[in-house]
């Protein structure tokens, strides 16, 4: 490996590595995303602010209505199982290997299903939604491909042994692409972010979703919250997300 150094008035002004006469650029990419000069994204929201009919400037509501009520994100009941969803657009992830940690401060009504959004691009593009039905131990967690924001959903995989009772906290990572996509879940993690796609608080996941999506979502740099229900509001009191280390 040789190094060519350009100079001007005796001062080095550029350094370019070459191999066999060809310049080599050093560019870091992750899952096809140029991460040169950047870093892994991280962001959070505790929702502690005045009551409002919107979540705030860092959020984009993509379906239905989610408000700020009593220092919590609050999706009001609509009694028709219509989708309520919002994505955090104040900071974009730089990769498709993403994590989200959310706290559900209330057990909610029996017919409410809070959810997490990952790999969102825009309202007309598909994304993943992981939806929780946690009214008691042995609760069901479903992984969907959403065709569009608030549109049709296709079940990819589910797990019925997460063993969590709301209120509580859930940590989630999504990694891989195509039929190798894996979603790992942790019950009540204490750290705000994982150390890898398979380790959080030094432990492996509580449960994993490994089904093969017929139409994988291999792009999308935003994460968020979602939910459906027919009675009672869905609430969140903390949200953390970003690129998995």
Structural domain includes residue 96: yes
The mean predicted confidence, pLDDT, of the chain is 83
- Confidence at 162, pLDDT banded by 50, 70, 90: low
Using CA atoms, how far residue 22 sits from 2, 14, 19, 34, 220, in Å, is 10, 16, 5, 21, 34
The CATH number for 121's domain is: 2.60.120.560
Structural domain total, the chain? 1
Dihedral of CA atoms 217, 90, 94, 18 in degrees, nearest 10, equals: 150
The domain in which residue 184 lies consists of 40-243
Q: Is residue 31 part of a domain?
A: no
What's the pLDDT tens digit per position in 11-40? Answer: 443 433 333 343 333 333 333 333 434 589
The structure tokens listed for 83 are 């989708």
In a domain, 16, yes or no: no
Residue 14 belongs to a domain: no
Q: What is the pLDDT of residue 165?
A: 57
pLDDT band, very low/low/confident/very high, at 92 (cuts 50, 70, 90): very high
| Residue 111: partners with Cβ closer than 8 Å, 6 or more residues away | 81, 229, 230, 231, 232
Q: Tell me, what DSSP letter sits at residue 203?
A: B
d(CA 130, CA 120): 12
Tell me if 170 is assigned to some domain. yes
Q: Is residue 58 part of a domain?
A: yes
Assess contact for 113 and 68: CB atoms under 8 A: no
The answer to the question of residue 197 being in a domain is yes
**Confidence check: pLDDT of 86 > 60:** yes
Name 59's bridge partners: 88
| pLDDT tens by residue, 136-149 | 545 788 999 999 99
Token pair listed for 206: 């509580």
Is 9 contained in some domain? no
Q: What is the mean pLDDT of residues 157-181?
A: 85
Q: For residue 141, give Cα distances in angstroms to 2, 16, 192, 227.
A: 55, 51, 21, 12
159, pLDDT greater than 70: yes
């Amino acid at each position: 490996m040789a190094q060519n150094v350009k100079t001007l008035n005796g001062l080095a002004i550029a350094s370019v590595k070459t191999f066999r006469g060809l310049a080599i650029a050093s560019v870091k990419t992750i899952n096809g995303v140029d991460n040169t000069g950047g870093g892994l994204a991280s962001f959070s929201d505790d929702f502690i602010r005045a009551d409002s009919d919107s979540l705030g400037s860092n959020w984009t509501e993509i379906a239905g209505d989610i408000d700020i009520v009593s220092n919590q994100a609050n999706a009001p009941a609509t009694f028709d199982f219509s989708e309520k969803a919002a994505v955090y657009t104040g900071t974009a992830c730089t990769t498709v290997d993403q994590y989200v940690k959310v706290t559900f401060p209330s057990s909610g009504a029996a017919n409410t299903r809070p959810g997490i959004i990952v790999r969102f691009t825009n309202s007309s593009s598909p994304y993943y939604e992981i939806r929780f039905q946690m009214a008691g131990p042995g609760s069901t967690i479903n992984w969907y491909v959403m065709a569009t924001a608030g549109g049709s959903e296709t079940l990819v995989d589910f797990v019925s042994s997460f063993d969590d009772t709301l209120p509580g906290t859930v940590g989630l990572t999504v990694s891989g692409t195509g039929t190798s996509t894996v979603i790992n879940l942790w019950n009540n993690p204490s750290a705000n972010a994982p150390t890898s796609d398979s380790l959080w608080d030094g432990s492996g996941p509580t449960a994993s979703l490994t089904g093969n999506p017929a139409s994988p979502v291999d792009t999308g740099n935003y994460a968020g919250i979602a939910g459906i229900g027919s009675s009672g509001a869905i609430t969140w009191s903390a949200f953390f997300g970003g690129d998995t280390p």
